[in-house]
Amino acid sequence: MSAPARTRASRADARETAAPALHRSTDSAWATLRRGLALSPEFTRGLPVTVALAVAATFGKVVVPLAVQQIIDNGLLAEGGPDIGFVVGAVALCAALVALTALCSYVMNTRLYRSTESGLATLRRKAFRHVHDLSVLTQNSERKGALVSRVTSDVDQISTFMQWGGILLIVSTGQVAIATTLMAVYSWQLTLLVWVCFTPLLFGVRQLQKLLSRAYLKVRERTGEMLGVVGETVVGAAVIRAHGTEERTARRVDATVVATRAAQVRAQRLSMAISPLAELVSAFTYAVVIVAGVALGVAGSLTAGQLVAFLFLINLFIMPMTMATEIFNEAQNAIAGWRRVLGVLDTVPDIADPGPDGKHLPRGPVTIRFDHVGYAYPGGPRVLDDIDVDIAPGRRVAVVGETGSGKTTFVKLLTRLMDPDEGTVLLDGVDLREVAFSSLRSRVVMVPQEGFLFDSTLGDNIRFARPEATDEQIREAVAELGLGDWLAGLPHGLDTPVGQRGESLSAGERQLVALVRAYVADPDLLVLDEATSAVDPATEVRIQRALDRLTRGRTSVAIAHRLSTAEAADEVLVFDRGRIVQRGTHRDLVARPGVYADLHASWVRSSA
Amino acid sequence: MAQGSARPGIDSRILTEGMRVLWVAIRTEPWVFTAALVGALLYAAAAVTSASVLGAVSERVILPAIAEGRTTAAAVAGAAAVVFGVGVLRALGLGARRLYAGLMQFRMQAHYRRAVARKYLQLPLSWHQRHPAGQLLSNANADVEAAWQPLAPLPMAVGSVAMLVIAAVAMLVTDPVLALVGFVVFPALAAANVVFQRRVSPVAARAQALRAQVSEVAHESFDGALVVKTLGREDTETERFARAADRLRDAQIRVGRMRAAFDPLLEALPNLGVLAVLLIGLVRIDLGAATSGEVVQIAYLFTLLSLPVRSFGWLLGDLPRSVVGWRRVRAVLDAEGGTDYGDAVLDGDHGLAVSVRGLSFSYADTYTDRRDDTAPESARGLDAADDGPTARTTVLHDVDLELSPGRVTALVGPTGAGKSTLTMLLARLVDPDSGRVLVDGVDARDYAHGELARAVALVPQHTFIFDDTVRGNVTLGADVDDAAVWQALRLACADSFVAALPQGLDTRLGERGTSLSGGQRQRLALARALVRRPRLLILDDATSAVDPQVEAQILGGLREADLAGATVVVVAYRRATIELADEVVYLEQGTVRDRGTHAELLARSPGYHRLVTAYEQAAAQRSAEAAARSADQEAVR
């Protein structure tokens, strides 16, 4: 393989990762909130009742201390000694009120939890499904972990706001409005003063929160780096010891740990400033109101009783105001979470099911036709150029070529993981874009290079292609592929756990499972991307045997890395720089000078 | 983390152990803790005072000023200043408490993360092999975090305990009988807290475990997206995910229902206490045993205390998780073991001579079955993480081997023969149960720290790429210039793909950087070994993911390079690789069955013959079948 060919390949990879990314929302916070709520109808179901309960509970919380105050002032400290009758009656009433408040609060919270959690589950499901509906290019434009966050932590970010902040926002707004009205009844001048004192706080806190979110971002970045380096001490344990780099790694750990702590402390410094600031502003407000109130009183426009009552009402006003900062914080979190979930849902799948008009392919070996097909990855040069080829039903075709020659792209177009820019791919004469997904995915099965397995049993992994298959049928399939001896040699047969990604099995065995899985799916067109990794000879022989039987009676197209696959094919397509440059049987091609003969020569050198 | 499922409820054992954990933190950071505690007490004191200050101001300044027209500007300004001053104290106390509580938490996290990571670096590889990587990572991350989580509410909780004591004393002094009501309500609050923690802990732990499951399902499903898509299983995958999400939802709703019941109860209790004080106080006044003022004072003490008591609840809530986290972190820090070194030095720069004498090695039986070649990796996934005595599986048994300087030896054998283990013993990544590895005539264990690492390079099949630049990944901090790095990359056939990377040698790799294919990673790992000019180079199937053509080019290059003098050991499957060796050692079931040249072994060892020719036979059979088939097809036409 020549160096320029590899260079081309790595550029092609780079382009692929720069492909259609997830949608980035530019909606306003308000629009995001509205759309977010609309996504899960559970959020708003029964909301009026919940709000009514919340109002009742808040009312109780405000009134109970007042009532206690009244009992003390008018009962206990009544002129002429305690008024026993009043106190006993009032205490009984008050106790009932406390119980009622607690009950309202309980019912409200239960309802909130139910609606919130149900709404979040719906949101997760929708986002998860949509990720799978996106094309391979879009899926690969994000790290897998980042996609996972969109259905886990990004969704979790919404929960606090929905369980607590949202309802409190409604109730607090009401409380502030009521407190303002009541205060204004006593003195509009003082009310204005209170608002003047508090408005800067609201703006100041917003600024602070912007700084804070930047600081938290830093914390997350630093923590990520730190965990990465700490992880290296574990995952790279062998390499570190083999090259004796313990000291260097320890220094890297120290540096990232210290950087993380510094970022945390900085964020803490900002976040801890918010509550004391609110305390300061309320203390200042009290002081100002006392001075101004006395002045107004002396001027005769306010009585002493009114001023004392006003001072109490300020408290009613301050409570929700100081809470507002936390509520806004949660609201921002929630909106950020919704934005990222909406980013998934707003990404239109560029490879989509044709819908109800989708055509169904008849059963039986498939005819393939590439009609002047061309393809370029977004923003890149052509990787396939004017591919025009027919493949007769039931043929075994091997696709060969150097890395970057376009063979992988050819296979992706054939399985409709991508759509061509030019020309048409037809199966049995039908444009692939018009074939219903249900039909396409059951007739055409692809075995990717890395046979991904799920962390379950061997049987479950094979059954993944056809969930209704019984153990008996699977065993039969295994036997038909000539793998009975292999299965018998496994300690627990079909119940053998395969581990995460199948890592308890060897690479070769994972390929075997992928082949059986494809066989159970029983497709009419089998597309294979052969693995390049070396496996031990016994497994190699099994893979060959299984491949051989798997391709019988179907059309098959295989990207061949093994000489034997090309040898066994009915026909070989040779790719070079995005075109098919040779076509024929192995025997014909190897006899003629050309790309295939060169490839074959180097193959023979390495494996003979 | 899924490990949260082990989260116990609160009991006296957890309580005492939790207090011990907190004490460790207080002892480690006494000044930071003191600052936070002072802040908490200042806030509490200011909060208590502010209510009475406002009352006093109303009574002494406002009423006289407005109702009776008696005031001075100084009195009003003074009143305002006192109100504001108390507010400033509150703000200061609150700020100090939160700042220092956070500082303490972060400092403790940093101390322990460093300690854990250093321990990981110090413990021998055999220890790592017994512990799943995921578990060790969460020890350094989630467990350290959990252990120090209670430090956030700790100062406030300690402050509130202090306030409780003061309040209790104040009540006792005021009226012992009414104080009794307090002594009923406070324990009731504490009991409610404990009951709540005990009931909610298992449910919350379950929710946490289910949350991890949701994440796992999503991770796995997105990882296998290509398989899901090409087999058209999106619907069933969505169902599987929805089942996990629904289970999480149900668990969360259960947790929510408990919280919903508990929170109002906690809020109602002090209120009911006040009402009780008022009623009983009435009787006391009637009896002449108390004055109205005393009753009112006790009633106030009650209302002031409802919030601090809740902060104690938060502390209790964090405690069980903290104890579990602490135990796990401690288990790492207390782990025994390390590698002992001698003081021998490796002289010269010739290829190393290695002799292996009577070498035996066994793995702790932590993983159920089969094959040693993948044992180090796979064992991690299944290990029960228990360091107790376990059965052991013998992997190598009484192996003798001579590696002459400058010679290339191929290790060949079926899966599970012990090849990988042998390479690890040669590089002294693990030590044998019995027998010796002699390097240049000296027992490998007698060399000083770093001596062998400098002279021996092992390239494993599954390599590891650091979150660092290409240069950093090749040099690993060694003092090597770029020319030497490129030279090593060239030998490993990695130069052209590195040159095509956006920033060349400065391109960042790893988790957050550019990702490489398996073959590219292997070639980089090879360059990493070559740049050190090793005197013993061990390739453990190190080019398995590389195209056969490139592999041939690499191995050919090794012979021509400056490395010509190095001793080389190659674990190989491909025949082309085997044929490059001067000598082949054939291993079967942990023992050396035969050794000699490829041709000699082919002729005299039936096992070896079967192994290396199996693939060729199958290929021959296939082409015969293919020929027959095409003949059929032609006949049909």
**Measured between CB atoms, does A392 come within 8 Å of chain B?**
no
Number of helical H runs and strand E runs in chain A: 22, 10
What pLDDT digit, counting tens, does each position of A78-126 carry?
777 778 888 889 899 999 999 999 999 999 999 999 999 999 999 999 9
> Nearest-CA residue of chain A relative to B625?
A568
* Mutation for A interface: B59, B97, B275, B515, most A CBs within 10 A: B275
Return the HEC string of A261-272.
HHHHHHHHHHHH
What distance, in Å, lies between the first and last C-alpha atoms of chain A? Answer: 18
Neighbouring-strand partners of residue B402: B355
Model pLDDT, residue B545: 72
- pLDDT tops 60 at residue A506: yes
Q: How far apart are CA B277 and CA A140, in angstroms?
A: 67
Q: Which residue has the tokens 């307090």?
A: B182
Kindly state whether residues A473 and A595 are assigned to the same domain.
Answer: yes
Q: Strand, helix or coil at A543? A: helix
**Measured between CB atoms, does B379 come within 8 Å of chain A?**
no
Per the CB < 8 A criterion, the answer to whether B168 and B183 are in contact is yes
Kindly state whether residues A590 and A474 are assigned to the same domain.
Answer: yes
Kindly state whether residues A398 and A531 are assigned to the same domain.
Answer: yes
pLDDT band (50, 70, 90) for residue B10 = low
Model pLDDT, residue B555: 77
Gap from B445 CA to chain A (nearest CA, Å): 14
Q: How far apart are CA A299 and CA A142, in angstroms?
A: 69
Cβ distance of A254 and B267 shorter than 8 Å: no
Sheet holding A444-447, edge to edge: A444-447, A525-529, A555-559, A396-401, A571-576, A579-584
Per the CB < 8 A criterion, the answer to whether A435 and A427 are in contact is yes
Amino acid code (one letter) for A181: T
Which of the two residues, B485 and B295, has the higher pLDDT score?
B485
Cβ distance of A268 and B99 shorter than 8 Å: yes
**What is the average pLDDT across A29-43?**
90
Residue A291 belongs to a domain: no
pLDDT band (50, 70, 90) for residue B46 = confident
- pLDDT tops 50 at residue A73: yes
Gap from B239 CA to chain A (nearest CA, Å): 8
The string over A494-515, giving b where at least 16 C-beta atoms fall within 10 Å of a residue's C-beta and e elsewhere, is: bebbbbbbbbbbbbbbbbbbbb
Chain A residues in contact with B511 by the CB 8 A cut-off are: 228
Per the CB < 8 A criterion, the answer to whether B442 and B412 are in contact is no
Burial (CB < 10 A; 0-12, 13-18, 19+), residue B274, is: buried
**Measured between CB atoms, does B110 come within 8 Å of chain A?**
yes
Per the CB < 8 A criterion, the answer to whether A294 and A307 are in contact is yes
Report how far apart, in Å, the C-alpha atoms of A470 and of each of A473, A517, A520 are.
5, 13, 11
Cβ distance of A545 and B415 shorter than 8 Å: no
Q: Which residue has the tokens 């002031």?
A: B304
In B407-466, the residues whose Cβ lies within 8 Å of chain A are 414-415, 424, 427, 429, 449-450, 452-454, 456-458, 460, 463-464, 466
Domain boundaries, chain B: 403-428+449-604, 612-637
Model pLDDT, residue B312: 75
Q: Assign a CATH topology to domain B403-428+449-604.
A: Rossmann fold (3.40.50)
- pLDDT tops 90 at residue B300: no
Kindly state whether residues A330 and A405 are assigned to the same domain.
Answer: no
The string over A377-402, giving b where at least 16 C-beta atoms fall within 10 Å of a residue's C-beta and e elsewhere, is: beeeebbbbebeeebeebbbbbbbbb
The H or E element spanning position B387 is none
Residue A333 belongs to domain spanning: 21-187+302-345
Which of B232, B303, B552 has its CB closest to that of A437?
B232
Alpha helix (H) residue ranges in B362-480: 375-382, 419-426, 451-455, 470-475
- pLDDT tops 70 at residue A365: yes
pLDDT band (50, 70, 90) for residue A13 = very low
Model pLDDT, residue A527: 93
What pLDDT digit, counting tens, does each position of B61-103 carry?
888 888 777 778 888 899 999 999 999 999 999 999 999 999 9
**Measured between CB atoms, does A315 come within 8 Å of chain B?**
no
Report how far apart, in Å, the C-alpha atoms of B492 and of each of B101, B108, B532, B560, B574 are.
53, 44, 13, 13, 18
Q: How far apart are CA A236 and CA A239, in angstroms?
A: 5
Domain containing residue A445: CATH number = 3.40.50.300
Which of A243, A446, A534 has its CB closest to that of B453?
A243
Kindly state whether residues A460 and A551 are assigned to the same domain.
Answer: yes
Cβ distance of B125 and A237 shorter than 8 Å: yes
In A138-157, the residues whose Cβ lies within 8 Å of chain B are 139, 144-145, 147-148, 151-152, 156
Residue A242 belongs to a domain: no
Q: Rounded mean pLDDT of chain A?
A: 85
**What is the average pLDDT across A177-184?**
89
Kindly state whether residues A332 and A432 are assigned to the same domain.
Answer: no
Residue A279 belongs to a domain: no
- pLDDT tops 70 at residue A599: yes
Q: For Cα atoms B20, B23, B27, give the angle at the middle one, nearest 5 degrees.
A: 140
In A106-135, the residues whose Cβ lies within 8 Å of chain B are 106-110, 112-114, 117-118, 120-121, 124-125, 128-129, 131-133
Q: How far apart are CA A160 and CA A523, in angstroms?
A: 48
Cα–Cα nearest to B244, from B211, B204, B222 = B211
What pLDDT digit, counting tens, does each position of A330-348 carry?
888 888 889 989 989 998 8
Residue A240 belongs to a domain: no
pLDDT band (50, 70, 90) for residue B564 = low
Tokens of B319: 């405690």
**Measured between CB atoms, does B265 come within 8 Å of chain A?**
yes
What pLDDT digit, counting tens, does each position of B341-379 carry?
888 888 887 888 899 899 999 876 543 333 333 333 333
Question: What are the E-state strand segments in B276-353?
Answer: none
Per the CB < 8 A criterion, the answer to whether A441 and A522 are in contact is no
Which of B113, B278, B369 has its CB closest to that of A91?
B278
Alpha helix (H) residue ranges in A300-398: 304-345
Residue A417 belongs to a domain: yes
Model pLDDT, residue A17: 37
Tokens of B148: 């120090």
For β-strands B434-439 and B354-364, DSSP reports them as antiparallel
- pLDDT tops 70 at residue A2: no
What pLDDT digit, counting tens, does each position of B108-140 carry?
999 999 999 999 998 888 888 778 777 888 888
**What is the average pLDDT across B535-555?**
79
Return the HEC string of A380-426.
CCEEEEEEEEEECCCCEEEEEECCCCCHHHHHHHHCCCCCCCEEEEE
Sheet holding B408-412, edge to edge: B456-459, B536-540, B567-571, B408-412, B583-588, B591-596
Task: Please give the share of chain B, as a percent, with pLDDT higher than 90.
Answer: 17
Model pLDDT, residue A524: 93
Amino acid code (one letter) for B69: G
Kindly state whether residues A165 and A66 are assigned to the same domain.
Answer: yes
The total number of structural domains in chain A stands at 2
For β-strands B392-403 and A555-559, DSSP reports them as unpaired
- pLDDT tops 90 at residue A525: yes
Task: Tell me the range of B315-319, B535-539, B570-574, B633-637 where mean pLDDT is highest.
Answer: B535-539
Plot region of B599 (φ>0 → left; ψ -120 to 50 → alpha; else → beta): alpha
Return the number of CB contacts < 8 Å for A and B: 491
Cβ distance of A445 and B612 shorter than 8 Å: no
Cβ distance of A605 and B549 shorter than 8 Å: yes
- pLDDT tops 50 at residue B382: no
pLDDT band (50, 70, 90) for residue B562 = low
Kindly state whether residues A328 and A374 are assigned to the same domain.
Answer: no
- pLDDT tops 80 at residue A399: yes
Cα–Cα nearest to A260, from B536, B288, B106, B579 = B106
- pLDDT tops 60 at residue B632: no
**What is the average pLDDT across A549-561?**
89
**What is the average pLDDT across A567-583?**
91
- pLDDT tops 50 at residue A384: yes
Report the half-sphere exposure of A254 (CA within 13 A, side-chain side): 8
**Measured between CB atoms, does B365 come within 8 Å of chain A?**
no
Tokens of B142: 């989630």
Rg (chain B; Cα; Å): 36
The H or E element spanning position B456 is strand B456-459
Rg (chain A; Cα; Å): 35
Kindly state whether residues A341 and A372 are assigned to the same domain.
Answer: no
Per the CB < 8 A criterion, the answer to whether A376 and A406 are in contact is no
Kindly state whether residues A453 and A324 are assigned to the same domain.
Answer: no
Name, in order, each residue with C-beta under 8 angstroms of A287's C-beta and a sequence gap of 6 or more: B80, B81, B83, B84, B87
Q: Which residue has the tokens 């854990």?
A: B116
Residue A264 belongs to a domain: no
**Measured between CB atoms, does A279 come within 8 Å of chain B?**
yes
Q: Rounded mean pLDDT of chain B?
A: 81
Dihedral in degrees, nearest 10, Cα atoms A382, A384, A385, A388: -160
Per the CB < 8 A criterion, the answer to whether B490 and B527 are in contact is no
Chain B residues in contact with A504 by the CB 8 A cut-off are: 378, 381-382
Q: For Cα atoms A587, A588, A592, give the angle at the middle one, nearest 5 degrees.
A: 115
Name, in order, each residue with C-beta under 8 angstroms of A170's C-beta and a sequence gap of 6 or more: A51, A54
**What is the average pLDDT across B619-634?**
59
Looking at A314, A345, A376, the residue that finishes a domain is: A345
Neighbouring-strand partners of residue B539: B459, B570
Gap from B346 CA to chain A (nearest CA, Å): 15
**Measured between CB atoms, does B636 come within 8 Å of chain A?**
no
pLDDT band (50, 70, 90) for residue A140 = confident
In A250-269, the residues whose Cβ lies within 8 Å of chain B are 250, 253-254, 257-258, 260-261, 264-265, 268-269
Domain containing residue A324: CATH number = 1.20.1560.10
